[in-house]
Structure 1
Amino acid sequence: MEALAAIGLVSNVLGFIDTGWKLCGLIKEYSAAAGAPAEVVSLSSRLELVLQALKEMDESGRAKLNHEKLALKICSDEAEELRLFLEGLKVIPDKISSSRAFKWKRSSLEKGWKAFKTLRGREKLEKFQTSLDWIMGLITMQQQTRLETTAMNVEDQTTLLVKHSEEVLKGLTELHLFSDQSHVDISASKTRSPYIGVFYGATSKRQLKYNLRKCKGRLENSIGSMSFTSFQ
């Protein structure tokens, strides 16, 4: 990934997360002061889940695809637009005593929520909800793909593990059979030469042990790879 593309990606992710948390904080502030419409509270809860899932996905280090980058950019822009719209509902005069500030704020927000329920406010809310659903769909699809990939890796490693286990078992069986056969060959060869059978037996036995060590190494590597894959 080129440097500028990497910077743009980080900007998209961090920008959406930052804007999203600001929006959640603003909704909570408004709710505490004057209550908030149920659909806005629901939006805030869903947004928090998306932000947390996105943060975990980003920390995994996986590169984002182009359509994911675009979705993050669009959703970030719409979150900022909605946040600015909500900020505009809170109108408090600069010169006002602290004793009257809370009452004014509450009254202002109550009027603001009524304004939010107008067509313009609902359009902004629905537009952002659509983008949020898009982001959540991408996250869900990515999580599912990752699980499927992990399952495929485990299946492949299991097949390899069985294969190497069979090789080790075969090697052990051959070594055992050869030991018995070598004893017979050595006994028989004593009538001819005491060295021929011993030399032949030792050479073949060394080869079998060497092959067995190779099989054992492949088996251990398969087990190690399988253990690593299961934690991905």
Structure 2
Amino acid sequence: MKGNYAVMGLGTFGMKLATELSNAGNYVVAIDVNPAPIDEIKDKVGTAIIADISNPDTIKELDVAKFNAVILSMSGHFEDQIIALTLLKQEGAMNVIAKANSPLQKRILLRLGANEVIQPDFDVAERYAKRLSMSNIGEMLDFKGGTIADVSAPPSMVGQSVRALDLRNRFNLTILLIHKPGEEGFTIWDPDIKLEEGDQLTVFGKEKDIIKAFNS
């Protein structure tokens, strides 16, 4: 089901977010106080507005309660972000996602009523650090309350069958696909297939369980 979103603040993050939401078929209202980003994005989203989101009249005119989410993605002027968050909540915005540039900003925004606070630079750095330090785990993708990950079979699993590993009961993980080195495509696994050195698995579960099972 597609949704309605307002993206307030069109820096690099806000511009990309608004564009991707629109490309996915959602109706997006993009807002910035500067004309340049509005001119750049106006043909890529449903509505593009030059407006000051710290102005109460701007928030009133938007009818913010109709949006599935309002994303506050301003890069600077934290005071304006605080004012906008307060106004959004006063006007009935049900789901406000705010961008923070520091842990302190995150705590303040959550205390003032933001439903979720993201720190893109921090989040990317944290995930990439995990990826670099986990030799057996490749790309990870968040999906419907869990994580899909590409992993290499660690030495402790080589020679064992999927049935013997019992990943579902031991780690609450589901193997989706297995790729054998030198073979085209993927194998829809059966319980008796044995893992070999170089096998690549696609698994689904909680990120912490994937790390526990395969980071060895």
**By percentage of residues, which structure has more strand?**
2
TM-score between the two structures when normalised by the length of structure 2: 0.24
Larger helix proportion, structure 1 or 2? Answer: 1
More contact order relative to length (CA 8 Å, sep ≥ 6): 1
Larger radius of gyration: 1
